Structure 1
């Protein structure tokens, strides 16, 4: 049996009271096999690798994020109230920003916490009125990217 720990923290006891991190300890073979493939890829970067459950940059994160956002758009079109919540380091990718604008236009409520640069402009009528962006810096600075749908 294999176990995998996937987390956003660095286990620094000096900052443990300041930051909140996510951790997943799992024996699910779908996840542990993909974690093993991540390390195999690091050791042998010339071998092609694919992932179904993990978002691994630069392998599949853009494709998977687009699929997840499109799923929220399709749910919103069916009158299901949807929301998209993400904490990320920076948001400057035009394709991702345009996809978030499309989701906002479809009625998906989006809340972003961005710790660095952000090129997305929230609260533009007809474009991004369903998007809220919060910037956390200084003593509330966080080091964890996360996605919640």
Structure 2
């Protein structure tokens, strides 16, 4: 049986993080949150504001988004799911996502940023202004090359 390539995911939004994952044996990386703040992203303007203001500790684990544990930006919605009287999430995919869709749309229509949430990891605080996908990719490649160069010099010493 051929070896299965391993992709690292979670907490990767910069080239240094990508280099660390590769150095630890990953074949590649899977990035998510870093793309949300790009100008090409389809996030609503109010949700972008929430995203750009978020810090790492605002990426909380919730079951209220998908029914499975995932990180999402803290809001009144995610906090409501932590209450003792909150209903049990619907764990059958995609039932909880279907259930949560309407509250998200209502918050967006009413411009209620305090109720808006979106799946995002702890690197969310690196996403604080609109940039192009081109810039994200270019910066990531440049940082990756610099980090790998530093790693190669460590081996030479």
Q: TM (normalized to structure 2)?
A: 0.22
Higher relative contact order (CA 8 A, sep 6+): 2
Computing the radius of gyration from Cα coordinates, the structure with the larger value is 2
